[in-house]
A and B are shown apart, each in its own frame.
Chain A
Amino acid sequence: FLLQVKDLFSSLGVGCNVLELDQVDDGAGVQEVLSEITNQKTVPNIFVNKVHVGGCDRTFQAHQSGLLQKLLKENSAYEYDLIVIGGGSGGLACAKEAAILGKKVMVLDFVVPSPQGTSWGLGGTCVNVGCIPKKLMHQAALLGQALHDSRKFGWEYNQQVKHNWETMVDAIQNHISSLNWGYRLSLREKAVTYLNAYGEFVEHHKIKATNRKGQETCHTAAKFVIATGERPRYLGIQGDKEYCITSDDLFSLRYCPGKTLVVGASYVALECAGFLAGLGLDVTVMVRSIILRGFDQEMAEKLSSYMEQQHGVKFLRKFVPVMVQQLEKGSPGKLKVVAKSTEGPETIDGIYNTVLLAIGRDSCTRKIGLEKIGVKINEKNGKIPVNDVEQTNVSYVYAIGDILEGKPELTPVAIQAGKLLARRLFGTSSEKCDYINVPTTVFTPLEYGCCGLSEEKAIEVYKKENLEVFHSFFWPLEWTVAGRENNVCYAKIICNKLDHDRVIGFHVLGPNAGEITQGFAVAMKCRLTKRQLDETVGIHPTCGEVFTTLEITKSLGLDITQKGC
């Protein structure tokens, strides 16, 4: 019985003081006194915050009824209602929402410098080394293309326009600094305590915060949210940490990266390769197996084809780097990369100014003391499994954002989860985060927006004969005069024939894919059907209107090449 009770308290995250009567002098005497004051002769005899609860059965009953939790809360000497570890998209959203609901909140954010020494301010990956600088550099590349197109539209300039990397990075870093500042201000306004310190658990309900100078402080809270995010993974080969950079370093690089090898096939790899090429750099992408794993492969193929054929990006497929050697120091220097084929004994080597690793990201969950309080993580990838209210296996500890097992690694998902979590914990809401049909966009030179299932996944779940796939090429009007290719931009929807041709997958490859996809994601939440699409009038002339006139299906097999409007 004692063990059962100990387990119960452990799962509640409460430390127990156990007095073993058979190990104490006059244990029988103690038991007699207990019997007098509590009317209970048996052990275990449990007291919570000086209040007598009872034996094992009564304790479990008290837990069922909620009385136990109430007793645990009272006289709570916790400093904070909520401590959030990680000041990124999820963490800040949660902290701010809890503060709005009147709670006492602390946020800890700390950036361990990258192997190259890069660090940044408050805001997490998205703001500093993710979405924001990525989109701005993508925009810089798009503007290069616009400069090119503009000549066809009558703008007259003769020179070969060059791009200045430092000017761009300065402007982008200035904007990011303003965002960092904005977040600090926002936390201050909402009376959220912010510590620029590394947080880790030391015992139940208690963390230790270590700042840059090594000074330690301890803090307690009733509830914790882990939102520590991820960092780029390294290859584990000779020279990787010394000479290679990652997305952590790219966006604040003080010098132009020059001729670049991007290792990886993730959206990070492709987006970076895309804008680097768009800025005029010589770019090669080294891919181990498939591109954009987890995404619709037909779309991935078209997207990478575009990068290769229209955008000048070289692809080395089915190779992995085995060694990176520095030939020359410099900013940038010269690196030699040796790579081995995944299909045979062939090795190749190449010389680059910069090697950018984009092979995946690892969760920051292994060094924050989770083992001290028993929070289970997936040992393979470090991710934290949670239930549908983002709760870990330890009841007062929650997790949100990129570290979650099985959830999309996206800023808006983390923000939504964080907000709703705070409202459930401290407000009157019971609304859960909806992870179904989360739209996303890959900002490669030809942008790819999608919502719902890939064609492969749809076939797996629903079987091919129950699906109808409608598709079409389209030629953005702005591309016509600019002389850009027809039959490159592509639209596809996957419908479930067994459910009124419900749209279960939406895919668009073309300019402004993010803007197009957003509204359709709302429509899919409203259970969009093909019929409703057909009944909706298109806005003319746009790219998005192609979805209102989709006629040709894959099963019919007709030609979808466009001959012009």
Chain B
Amino acid sequence: AQDYDLLVIGGGSGGLACAKEGTRWGLGGTCVNVGCIPKKLMHQAALLGGMIRDARHYGWEVAQPVPHSWRKMAEAVQNHVKSLNWGHRVQLQDRKVKYFNVKASFVNEHTVRGVAKDGKETLLSADNIVIATGGRPRYPTQIEGALEYGITSDDIFWLKESPGKTLVVGAGYVALECAGFLTGIGLDTTVMIRSVPLRSFDQQMSSLVTEYMASHGTRFLRGCTPSQVRRLPAGRLQVTWEDRTSGKEDTDTFDTVLWAIGRVPETGSLNLEKSGVKTSPDSQKILVDSWDATSVPHIYAIGDVAEGRPELTPTAIMAGRLLAQRLFGPSSALMDYDNVPTTVFTPLEYGCVGLSEEEAVARHGQEHVEVYHAYYKPLEFTVAERDASQCYIKMVCLREPPQLVLGLHFLGPNAGEVTQGFALGIR
């Protein structure tokens, strides 16, 4: 018999839902510390800036423009995150889950070595082990100065001082969401994109998202790749990049360079070979089956670290819960990863569930796909004299009656709230 029935490596959304462990910041993983939570709060800060402007049209006598203090915002956000760390610790305690703040690696398939901050080692063994170590932002180490002078989403939410004039390199939702709120709080923001924005999303919607951002103060450098980051004597950063269409080189000075070019799974330091758990040679993610089991039957992997899963907190949470229920309860329910709704919290939010138009056409053929769509103007935009050019909805359906809805896409305010209920309908 082992020490524990279940050992979970990773105290993030998946790990905590499954049992309740942590890394550099407090307990809670990416979502709580350097993901969804601080992101949405800073997005809200940016939205509030827009609301202050709207308020004048509605009769509120506020002297404009109103300045924004990064320090005040960061402190408030960081305080809230810390309260959540605390809340998770209390919850684990309440449920009598033993929490070790240690760095784990495998000794053999049932044993894990944990190393604490002070170097002290502990050996833990368990009948079942769940790997939920998540991912971390990738650094473009091939670019000179990238590691020394650039930061990532791991850092931006914890900066004590304003990032100032920022270059965001990347085209995924992390890049666009960060660039979005930085612009919204009044900072000079540039996004450098190598090819297309939001690659895995519906491309028409993606271009509307960036169109909105571009017409609201975010600068876009498309088809460009950075080649070098240098620190200038005064402390600012000089970035050199290549414009791939023209072949020309260009340069500019920034206070901050934020790399948002993707995330890599945290499997490197787990000593997986000692356990026999296999990873994908391309992505380094852990290979799992529909029961979330790895190549070793009693070792499981959930959340961002697992291959082929959506990288979302709610799916990790649900997967964790269902796994625990399958292992220790009477349930045999598997996680359904189809039709998972999601929302990109860019300045104009994009909520979607189901297939993109491209995916629908690829799967069913153009002749079998019908797309209903409309531009609209939120009532609140009218008096506020806001530009609603990109407020747009589209429903991708099968042409044949009853015209099953394959995908729903909504671009507009409160997209998350709008999309949630429709996600049920799609199922």
- Binary interface encoding of chain B residues 179-206 relative to chain A, with 1 for a CB under 8 A from any of its CBs, else 0: 0000001000000000000000000000
- Taking CB atoms and an 8 Å cut-off, the chain B residues in 59-108 that contact chain A are 59-63, 66-74, 76-77, 80, 83-84, 87, 90
Q: A480-B80, A523-B421, A548-B314 are in contact. Are A139 and B52 (CB under 8 A)?
A: no
- The answer to whether the Cβ of A159 comes within 8 Å of any Cβ in the partner chain is yes
Contact of B340 with A by CB under 8 A: yes
Residues 19 to 69 of chain B near chain A (Cβ within 8 Å): 31-32, 36-37, 40-41, 44-45, 48-49, 51-52, 54-55, 57-63, 66-69
Given known contacts A537-B318, A538-B314, A512 and B414 CB-to-CB distance under 8 angstroms: yes
Docked pose: A155 CA to B51 CA in angstroms: 11
Contacts of B383 in A (CB 8 A): 136, 139, 171-172, 175
Contacts of B417 in A (CB 8 A): 512, 515-516, 542-544
Kindly provide the distance from the CB of B345 to the nearest chain A CB, expressed in whole angstroms. 9
Which residues, 375 to 392 on B, are CB-close (under 8 Å) to A? 379-380, 382-383
Which of A519, A547, A564 counts the most B-chain CB atoms under 10 A from its CB? Answer: A519
Which residues of chain B come closer than 8 Å to A535, judged between CB atoms? 336, 427
Give the residues in chain A near B58, CB-CB below 8 Å. Answer: 136, 139-140, 143, 167-168, 171
Q: Is the pair A539, B68 in contact by a Cβ cutoff of 8 Å? A: no
User: Is B295 in the interface zone, CB < 8 Å from A?
Assistant: no
- Chain B residue at minimum C-beta to C-beta distance from A529: B424
Pair A539/B416 contact, Cβ less than 8 Å? yes
B31 adjacent to A540 (CB under 8 Å): yes
A157 within 8 A of B: yes
- The reply on B351 being an interface residue by CB < 8 A is yes
A461 to chain B minimum Cβ distance, whole angstroms, is 23
Q: Does A74 contact B (CB under 8 A)?
A: no
Contact of B32 (CB < 8 Å), options: A144, A516, A565: A565
- CB-CB under 8 A from A536, the residues of chain B are 341, 423-424, 427
Chain A proximity of B337: nearest CB distance (Å): 9
Contact call B48/A519, Cβ cutoff below 8 A? no
Contact of A519 among B44, B51, B318, B423 (CB under 8 A): B423
| CB nearest to B424 among chain A residues | A523
Query: Which of B54, B318, B421 lies at the interface centre, i.e. has the most chain A CB atoms within 10 A of its CB?
Result: B421
Which interface class (under 10, 10 to 19, 20 to 34, 35 or more) fits A?
35 or more
Q: For the complex, is B166 an interface residue (Cβ under 8 Å from A)?
A: no
The CA-CA distance from A54 to B208 in the complex, in Å, is 69
* Binding-face segment, A83-91, A145-153, A366-374: A145-153
Is the beta-carbon distance between B69 and A545 smaller than 8 angstroms? no
List A244-303 residues whose CB lies under 8 Å from chain B: 279
| Shortest Cβ gap from B306 to chain A (Å) | 15
A2 contacts the other chain (CB 8 A):
no
B156 in the interface (beta carbon within 8 A): no
What's the nearest-Cβ distance from chain B to residue A339, in Å?
31
- Say yes or no: A135 contacts B76, CB within 8 Å: no
Query: Is A481 in contact with chain B by the CB < 8 A criterion?
Result: yes
Q: Which residues of chain A from 504 to 533 have any CB-CB distance to chain B below 8 Å in the complex?
A: 512, 515-523, 525-526, 528, 532-533
| B418 adjacent to A540 (CB under 8 Å) | no
Does any Cβ of B come within 8 Å of A541's Cβ?
A: yes
Smallest beta-carbon distance B254→chain A, Å: 21
Chain A: CB-nearest residue to B338 = A537
| Shortest Cβ distance from residue B332 to the other chain A in the assembled complex, whole angstroms | 14
Is A194 part of the binding interface, using a Cβ–Cβ cutoff of 8 Å? no
Given the known inter-chain contacts A171-B58, A520-B424, A542-B417, please indicate yes or no for A150 contacting B40, CB distance below 8 A.
no
Q: Which residue on B lies nearest to A519, using beta carbons?
A: B421
Give the docked Cα–Cα distance between A518 and B412 (Å).
15
Residues of A within 8 A of B279 (CB): none
Query: Given the complex, which residues of B lie within 8 Å of A136, measured CB to CB?
Result: 58, 379-380, 382-383
A478 to B83, CA, bound (A): 15
Q: Known contacts being A147-B52, A163-B60, A165-B59, is A532 close to B427, with CB within 8 Å? A: yes
B423 lies within 8 A of A155 (CB): no
A162, A279, A540, A543: the one within 8 Å of B312 (CB): A540
- Check A563 for interface membership: any CB of B closer than 8 A: yes
Tell whether, in the assembled complex, residue A515 and residue B418 are in contact, meaning their CB atoms are under 8 Å apart.
yes
- Measured CB to CB, the nearest residue on chain B to A546 is B420
Contact among B63, B84, B416, B419 with A564 in the assembled complex (CB-CB below 8 Å): B84
Nearest-Cβ distance from residue A250 to partner chain B, whole angstroms: 15
Q: Which residues of A contact B418 (CB under 8 A)?
A: 515-516, 518-519
In the complex, the answer to whether A541 meets B40 with C-beta atoms within 8 Å is yes
User: For the complex, what is the distance from the CA of A525 to the CA of B422, rounded to whole Å?
Assistant: 11
Is B343 interfacial (CB 8 A cutoff)? Answer: yes
B residues near A519, Cβ cutoff 8 Å: 418-425
Nearest A-chain residue to B49, judged by Cβ: A155
Beyond A153-B48, A154-B69, is A537–B312 a contact (Cβ under 8 Å)?
Answer: yes
Residue interface mask B358-398, A partner, CB < 8 A = 1:
00000000000000000000011011000000000000000
CB of B342 closer than 8 Å to a CB of A: yes
Indicate if the CB atoms of B36 and A541 lie closer than 8 Å. Answer: yes
Tell me if B55 and A143 are in contact (CB < 8 A): yes
Whether the Cβ atoms of A539 and B351 lie closer than 8 Å is yes
B185 surroundings in chain A (CB, below 8 A): 154
A172 to B57, CA, bound (A): 10
Q: Is the CB of A168 within 8 A of B59?
A: yes
* B294 interface residue (CB < 8 Å to A): no
Closest partner residue, chain A, to B54 (CB atom) = A143
Contact status A146-B48, CB under 8 Å: yes
CB distance from A5 to the nearest CB of B (A): 46
Instruction: Please indicate the chain B residues that have their CB under 8 angstroms from the CB of A343 in the complex.
Output: none
Q: Which A residues are in CB contact (< 8 Å) with B90? A: 563
Residue A316 interfacial (CB < 8 Å): no
Q: For residue A544, which residue of chain B has the nearest CB?
A: B420
Is there contact, CB below 8 Å, between A155 and B48? yes
| Chain A residues with CB under 8 A of B133 | none
Instruction: Give the distance in Å from the alpha carbon of A88 to the alpha carbon of B386 in the complex.
Output: 27
The chain B residue sitting closest to A132, CB to CB, is B379
The answer to whether A171 and B59 have CB atoms under 8 Å apart is yes
A64 within 8 A of B: no
With a cutoff of 8 Å between Cβ atoms, the chain A residues found around residue B71 in the complex are 154
Contacts of B256 in A (CB 8 A): none
- The answer, yes or no, to whether A388 is at the interface (CB within 8 Å) is no
CA distance A167 to B54 in the complex (A): 13
Can you offer 8 A-B residue contacts whose CB atoms are under 8 A? A136-B380, A143-B54, A146-B48, A150-B52, A155-B45, A156-B66, A522-B422, A540-B31
Residues of chain B touching chain A, judged by Cβ–Cβ distance below 8 Å, are 31-32, 36-37, 40-41, 44-45, 48-49, 51-52, 54-55, 57-63, 66-74, 76-77, 80, 83-84, 87, 90, 185, 312-315, 318, 336, 340-343, 351, 379-380, 382-383, 414, 416-425, 427
Given contacts A132-B379, A539-B314, 11 further A-B contacts (CB under 8 A): A140-B55, A143-B51, A152-B72, A154-B73, A166-B59, A167-B58, A520-B420, A520-B424, A523-B422, A540-B36, A544-B421
Residues of chain A whose beta carbon lies under 8 Å from any beta carbon of chain B = 132, 135-136, 139-140, 143-144, 146-147, 149-150, 152-157, 159, 161-168, 171-172, 175, 279, 477-478, 480-481, 512, 515-523, 525-526, 528, 532-533, 535-545, 547-548, 563-565
The 9 closest A-B pairs by CB, nearest first: A519-B421, A544-B420, A154-B73, A168-B59, A523-B424, A520-B421, A542-B416, A519-B422, A153-B45
